[in-house]
Amino acid sequence: MNVVAKKPRTIPESSLIGTRIPKMDAPEKASGRTRYIHDINLSGQLYGKILRSARVHARIVAIDTSAAKALPGVHVVLTAADVPDQRPIGVARDHFPLKGDRVRSQRDEIAAVAAESEEIAAAALKLIKVVYEDLPVIADPEDAIKPGAPLLHPAPAGAQPAGATVAHRGKADNIAMRFDYAHGDVVQGEAESDVVIEDTFKLHYVTHCCMGVSGMIAEFDASGSLLMYSNTQVPFLHKREFAEYLNMDPARVRIIQPPIGGGFGSKLDIYPFEVICLFLARAARRPVKLVFSREEEFLASPTRQPVLLTLRSGCKKDGTLTFRQVHTLHDNGAYTSWGATTPFVMMQTFSSLYRVPHCDYHTVAVYTNNPYAGSFRGYGNLQATFAIEQQMDEMAAAIGMDPLAFRLKNAQHTGEVTGQGMEFKSCGFTDCLNTAAQRSDFSRKFADNAAERNQPGHLKRGIGMASMLHVGGGAKIYPSDGCGTILKMDDFANVTLITGASEIGQGSETVLSQLVCEELGLPISALTVVNNDTAITPWDVGVHASRTTFIAGNSAIGAAKKAKTKILAVAAQKFGCTAEELDLRGGCVIKAADGEVVTELSKLIRNLHFSDKAELVMTTFYYEPPSVHQGKDYKGDVSAAYAWATQVVEVEVDTDTGIVRMLKVTGAHDVGRVLNRLGIEGQVEGGIVMGQGYALTENLMIENGVMKNPNFRDYKLITAPEIPEMDVSFIESMDGEGPQGAKGIGEAPAICIAAATANAIANATGVRLYDLPFTPERVYRALHGQTPKLYWKPWVPAA
């Protein structure tokens, strides 16, 4: 018998990084199995509904709930009087979940009902009688800021003067927040300028329009512990906050997040409905499910921050930027949520997108009777970029320079430390500018369109560009910006990754699995991700600031590296070599030098487990990025990495109707490195469409505090036929701190579109628009000289 020597099996090197990996949860979603909060039902649950104000600004004289309470099927009816222990909520702790003495906006919550069906709850609301005494409506932030304006938050009757919060002690003016930042000396900057330009820009209300409306299910168990199903984006911080509002131990609060419904920043704050749902469940001693109607979603969700902004900038004849001075008036709405804090991001763009030696930035956020603004993908950056990038074109024109050349001259480079203290350890800005310009043939088209502007015909072509800078390595806002991971391997070498990162649709499960597989040489199918449950997962600060891939990715890699070290040490001992001589690949332990298989990983793991020194492979890791908190002067390197992008928008403007068609978007994004190509393409394309809606069609119309279009008929989202052709390039600047070199880019793709569109319309028609959105009528009016130039004279009251 011939014995043929068995050829050793080798596994060639390969990498998952940069490949196209379908989202792990795609089959579930495509087949409709993934559960929205609507689809979750607990046995014995009641249905909660909220009575909102019928007035925009009024004193509540009396509330009569007796008829509602008497309706069969109604279990609980609550007003502020029934919850004497309610605590003020919100970023500035300036309102109570249930309003007792005063309503300040159309959405205000006056009473709530828990009943056996939604129909009964709705009928009960109709039986509640409220007597109002109207107060003057302050709908314009410019009025609210005037000396002697009626106060939105006067000291309440019987106010505790020593009360810690606005809700308790009131506020002597309508200023909710203010931000003042400076580097350099703008007076000197202006003196050195050859050209100075000043414009006022007006940014409108839009809202997130998540596919799933807001909702919550709350249940207290027999021992008083609370379980919540909630779409929150910050479960661990909110767990603590909810506990505070209920005066209970945070350890007894558990939050489970459905993986679908949508966030985009809208679930970054705690809203009255959530606390009210808890009150109802506590009073009813039954689970309570409270889900918004679509109309309610429009009325009672946060909006993107509307802004009135006057920007003054200068440059020298050779194109060098000299200074920027910014004043903004933020319409805070009736209460303070994250919208008021968008200056944190806005000032970064003004101070650091380009090299600008002198910068001065001021924001006043004022209370009005309008809806209140929250956080929304881009967090103020769409507004700031809209202003800056239009002025970049205006200044380039004023000195006769090509807009691309002007930007290149002032663009940031790797190694730069900005006036605000941001340190650009990897910066592909110049590559973004050049790539987007070349791929779209920008400079030729820009010149041709301008030359053809006055030809006959009602269709004009335009091209415009805009760039952005945004945090790409988390943002150190809270005491920690970290994320924890627990990794365990079973005896078939499958990995369960228990991550603090929440999956709310962004594809984090897939990219985290990919990073772990890359370390451990496993196929994606070997990974199971466990997330979205505060009772199980380690701490994480939340889904925001484009941080999940970067922070949770580094955390997952950290846990995987520890597992690998352990595995290789065991293998080295077993096979009599050093750990350095071994590696993991294709589900096997291999020789690092030539890929020869030493043993199957699953076999090794079982040997380890079922031995006399039984052991499992389980590791933990907590990643904290090396960023710093900003000082009181807003200076400091707040993110571990920064993302860059340039987007070029091409439009066709119909001068007979004002219709602007977006034909093509050419984007170049510095993403550090592409991890899951399919995922990042989806993220960028979705962001472009969101930016397109902001630029062209979406507009929440508020008149005297009343929302005019709380429905999808008159609030116009972009639909499929309007989506432009897209050409997206990725610039791989290989960030030293990023997971496999990657940066976060969740918010980036939405940021430039409106600014680039404004520049494209100006290129097509010679008319520049300073206020959004570019609806046909607004564009038509501007083209026909019906739009007086906006001007807001900054008036900053003494601090």
Partner 1 sequence: MTELERYVAPTTLAAAIDCLKDGEVTILAGGTDLTPQTRAGRMRIKRTLMNIRRIPELKGIALDGGAIRIGALTTITEIMDSALIAKHLPVLVETCRHFASDQIRNAGTLGGNLCNASPAGDTAIPLLVLGASVELASKPEDKIYRRSIPLSEFFVGPGQTRRSLCELLTAVTVPLPAPGHVARFHKFGTRVGLDISTVSIGIGGTLKDGALAAARVAFGAVAATPLRAAQTEAALEGQRLDAAAIARIAAVARDEVHPIDDVRATAWYRKELIHNMTKRMLENVAQA
Residues that bind partner 1 (CB under 8 A): 119, 122-123, 295, 458, 656-657, 659, 697, 701, 708-709, 711, 713-714, 716, 718-722, 775-777, 780-781, 784
Amino acid at 673: R
How far is 196 from 314, CA to CA, in rounded Å?
4
* Minimum CB–partner distance for residue 376 and partner 1 (Å): 22
* Minimum CB–partner distance for residue 712 and partner 1 (Å): 9
Query: Which residues neighbour 613 within 8 Å (Cβ) at sequence distance 6 or greater?
Result: none
Choose between 413 and 784: whose C-beta lies nearer to partner 1: 784
Choose between 207 and 549: whose C-beta lies nearer to partner 1: 207
* Minimum CB–partner distance for residue 412 and partner 1 (Å): 37
Query: Which residues neighbour 569 within 8 Å (Cβ) at sequence distance 6 or greater?
Result: 579
Residue that the structure tokens 């799933």 belong to: 212
* Minimum CB–partner distance for residue 776 and partner 1 (Å): 6
Query: Which residues neighbour 203 within 8 Å (Cβ) at sequence distance 6 or greater?
Result: 304, 305, 306, 307, 308, 309, 382, 383, 386, 771, 772
CA trace torsion 449, 464, 398, 431 (10° rounding): -120
Backbone torsions φ then ψ of 137, nearest 5 degrees = -90, 130
* Minimum CB–partner distance for residue 393 and partner 1 (Å): 26
The β-bridge partners of 784 are none
The β-bridge partners of 112 are 50, 78
* Minimum CB–partner distance for residue 330 and partner 1 (Å): 25
Query: Which residues neighbour 728 within 8 Å (Cβ) at sequence distance 6 or greater?
Result: 665, 666, 667, 668, 669, 681, 684, 685
Choose between 13 and 295: whose C-beta lies nearer to partner 1: 295
* Minimum CB–partner distance for residue 385 and partner 1 (Å): 24
Query: Which residues neighbour 766 within 8 Å (Cβ) at sequence distance 6 or greater?
Result: 450, 453
Choose between 120 and 278: whose C-beta lies nearer to partner 1: 120
Q: Which two tokens stand for residue 41?
A: 């039902």
* Minimum CB–partner distance for residue 115 and partner 1 (Å): 13
DSSP-derived 3-state class of residue 279: helix
Choose between 206 and 498: whose C-beta lies nearer to partner 1: 206
Choose between 596 and 777: whose C-beta lies nearer to partner 1: 777
* Minimum CB–partner distance for residue 458 and partner 1 (Å): 8
Sign of the four-CA dihedral 260, 263, 264, 268: negative
Choose between 20 and 708: whose C-beta lies nearer to partner 1: 708
* Minimum CB–partner distance for residue 363 and partner 1 (Å): 30
* Minimum CB–partner distance for residue 127 and partner 1 (Å): 12
DSSP-derived 3-state class of residue 792: coil
Q: Cα angle at 416 between 415 and 420, to 5 degrees?
A: 140
The answer to whether 752 and 378 have CB atoms below 8 angstroms apart is no
Choose between 525 and 711: whose C-beta lies nearer to partner 1: 711
Sign of the four-CA dihedral 630, 636, 640, 646: positive
DSSP-derived 3-state class of residue 731: strand
How far is 369 from 671, CA to CA, in rounded Å?
40
Helix (H) / strand (E) element for 58: namely strand 58-64
Choose between 157 and 720: whose C-beta lies nearer to partner 1: 720
Choose between 713 and 793: whose C-beta lies nearer to partner 1: 713
Q: Which two tokens stand for residue 413?
A: 């480079």
Choose between 742 and 783: whose C-beta lies nearer to partner 1: 783
How far is 765 from 784, CA to CA, in rounded Å?
11
* Minimum CB–partner distance for residue 723 and partner 1 (Å): 10
Q: Cα angle at 205 between 199 and 207, to 5 degrees?
A: 140
* Minimum CB–partner distance for residue 721 and partner 1 (Å): 4
Choose between 458 and 632: whose C-beta lies nearer to partner 1: 458
The beta strand positions in 633-765, using DSSP E, are: 642-654, 660-670, 702-703, 706-707, 725-731
How far is 469 from 2, CA to CA, in rounded Å?
69
The answer to whether 539 and 484 have CB atoms below 8 angstroms apart is yes
Choose between 133 and 777: whose C-beta lies nearer to partner 1: 777
Q: How many helices (H) and strands (E) does the chain have?
A: 21, 28
* Minimum CB–partner distance for residue 722 and partner 1 (Å): 6
Choose between 198 and 656: whose C-beta lies nearer to partner 1: 656
Helix 403-410 with 442-452: angle, nearest 10 deg: 140
Choose between 587 and 724: whose C-beta lies nearer to partner 1: 724
* Minimum CB–partner distance for residue 718 and partner 1 (Å): 7
Choose between 249 and 714: whose C-beta lies nearer to partner 1: 714
Sign of the four-CA dihedral 302, 304, 308, 314: positive
The answer to whether 110 and 51 have CB atoms below 8 angstroms apart is yes
* Minimum CB–partner distance for residue 714 and partner 1 (Å): 5
